[in-house]
Amino acid sequence: MNQSPVPATASGSPAASPASPEPEDSKAAENNGQSDTPKPAGASRAHPEEAPPAETGPSRGLPGRGVPGRGLEGHRWIARPSEAYTAAALKERLIGATQSWRDYPASLRLWFWLIPTLTAILGGILRFFRLDAPHSLVFDETYYVKDAYSYVVSGYERSWPANANDSFIAGNPDVLLNTPEYVVHPPVGKWMIAFGMWLFGGDNPFGWRFSAALAGTVTVFLVSLIALKLFRSHTLGAVAGLLLAIDGHHLVLSRTSLLDVFLALWILAAFGALLMDRDDGRRRLASRLAAQAAASPGGLPTPTQLVTGPWLGMRWWRLVAGLCLGLAVGTKWSALFFVAAFGIMTVLWDLNARRVAGIRSWFSAGIIKDGLPAFVTIIPIAAVTYVATWTGWFLSKDAYYRQWAATNPAPGWDWLPNSVRSLAHYHLEAYKFHQGLSSDHPYESSPWTWLIMGRPTSFYYQTPKPGTPGCLAETCSSAILPVGNPVVWWGGTIALVILLFWWAGRRDWRAGAILAGVAAGYLPWFMYPERTMFIFYAVSFEPFLVLGLTYVLGLVLGRSSDPVWRRRSGLYIVALVMVLAVLATAFFYPVLTAEVISYQEWRMRMWMPSWI
Containing domain of residue 25, as a range?
A: 1-101
Residue 579 pLDDT exceeds 60: yes
What are the angstrom distances between the C-alpha of 234 and each of 216, 220, 240?
21, 15, 10
Phi, psi values for residue 521, rounded to 5°: -90, -15
Integer Cα distance of 352 and 344 in angstroms: 12
The answer to whether residue 498 is domain-embedded is no
User: Residue type at 166?
Assistant: D
From 45, 72, 101, give the residue that closes a domain.
101
Integer Cα distance of 322 and 339 in angstroms: 9
From 101, 129, 154, give the residue that closes a domain.
101
Query: Cα dihedral angle (85, 88, 94, 98), rounded to 10 degrees?
Result: -170
Give the β-pairing of 596-598 and 460-462: unpaired
Per-residue model confidence as pLDDT tens digits over 407-425: 988 888 888 999 999 999 9
User: Residue type at 279?
Assistant: D
Question: What average pLDDT score do residues 48-61 get?
Answer: 33
Q: Are 541 and 260 in contact (CB under 8 A)?
A: no
The answer to whether residue 23 is domain-embedded is yes
Distance from the Cα of residue 582 to its chain's centroid: 22
Q: Please report which helix (H) or strand (E) contains residue 383, including its range.
A: helix 372-388
The answer to whether residue 86 is domain-embedded is yes
What total of structural domains would you count in the chain? Answer: 2
> How confident is the model at residue 582, as a pLDDT?
97
Give the angle 96-97-100 at the CA atoms, nearest 5°.
90
Residue 58 pLDDT exceeds 70: no
> How confident is the model at residue 37, as a pLDDT?
35
Phi, psi values for residue 130, rounded to 5°: 55, 40
User: Which residues, other chains included, contact 105 with Cβ-Cβ below 8 Å and sequence gap of 6+?
Assistant: 33, 34
Sign of CA dihedral 522, 525, 527, 529: negative
Residue 117 pLDDT exceeds 80: yes
pTM of the predicted model, to two decimals?
0.87
Q: Where are the alpha helices (DSSP H) in 445-563?
A: 486-506, 509-522, 542-557
Integer Cα distance of 590 and 477 in angstroms: 10
Q: Are 354 and 413 in contact (CB under 8 A)?
A: no
Cis peptide upstream of residue 134 (ω within 30 degrees of 0): yes
User: Residue type at 434?
Assistant: H
Residue 461 pLDDT exceeds 60: yes
The residues with which 2 forms a beta bridge, in sequence order, are: none
Integer Cα distance of 38 and 28 in angstroms: 13
Query: What does pLDDT average to over the chain?
Result: 86
Integer Cα distance of 537 and 519 in angstroms: 13
Residue 327 pLDDT exceeds 90: yes
What is the DSSP code string of 273-337? Answer: HHHHHHHHHHHHHHHHHHHHHHTSGGGS--TTHHHH-------HHHHHHHHHHHHHHTT-GGGHH
The answer to whether residue 284 is domain-embedded is no
Question: What average pLDDT score do residues 553-564 get?
Answer: 90
Q: Bin 377: left if φ > 0, else alpha if -120 < ψ < 50, else beta.
A: alpha
Q: Are 496 and 515 in contact (CB under 8 A)?
A: yes
User: Which residues, other chains included, contact 20 with Cβ-Cβ below 8 Å and sequence gap of 6+?
Assistant: 4, 5, 6, 7, 14, 554, 555, 559
> How confident is the model at residue 65, as a pLDDT?
40
Per-residue model confidence as pLDDT tens digits over 219-275: 999 999 999 999 988 999 999 999 999 999 999 999 999 999 999 999 999 999 999
Q: Are 418 and 405 in contact (CB under 8 A)?
A: yes
From 381, 410, 435, give the residue that closes a domain.
435
Q: Are 33 and 105 in contact (CB under 8 A)?
A: yes
Phi, psi values for residue 476, rounded to 5°: -125, 165
- Which residue has better confidence, 555 or 33? 555
Integer Cα distance of 139 and 130 in angstroms: 18
**Sorting pLDDT into bands at 50, 70 and 90, what band is 89?**
confident
Phi, psi values for residue 463, rounded to 5°: -115, 90
The answer to whether residue 5 is domain-embedded is yes
Question: What number of other Cβ atoms are within 10 A of residue 512's Cβ?
Answer: 20
Helix (H, G, I), strand (E, B) or coil at 92: helix
Q: Please report which helix (H) or strand (E) contains residue 477, including its range.
A: strand 476-480
Integer Cα distance of 164 and 161 in angstroms: 5
Proportion of the chain above pLDDT 70, given as a percent: 86
Residue 15 pLDDT exceeds 50: no
Residue 443 pLDDT exceeds 70: yes
User: Which residues, other chains included, contact 503 with Cβ-Cβ below 8 Å and sequence gap of 6+?
Assistant: 511, 512, 515
The answer to whether residue 312 is domain-embedded is no
Integer Cα distance of 50 and 238 in angstroms: 32
The single-letter DSSP state of residue 588 is: H
The residues with which 20 forms a beta bridge, in sequence order, are: 17
Question: What average pLDDT score do residues 432-461 get?
Answer: 91
**Sorting pLDDT into bands at 50, 70 and 90, what band is 55?**
very low
Integer Cα distance of 417 and 412 in angstroms: 12
Q: Are 560 and 24 in contact (CB under 8 A)?
A: yes
Q: Are 389 and 324 in contact (CB under 8 A)?
A: no
Per-residue model confidence as pLDDT tens digits over 131-172: 999 999 999 999 999 999 999 999 999 999 988 899 888 888
Q: Please report which helix (H) or strand (E) contains residue 31, including its range.
A: helix 26-32
The single-letter DSSP state of residue 50 is: S
Residue 29 CB-half CA count within 13 A? 20
What is the DSSP code string of 347-374? Answer: HHHHHHHHHHHT-TTHHHHHIIIIIHHH
> How confident is the model at residue 77, as a pLDDT?
58
Integer Cα distance of 71 and 234 in angstroms: 37
Residue 23 pLDDT exceeds 50: no
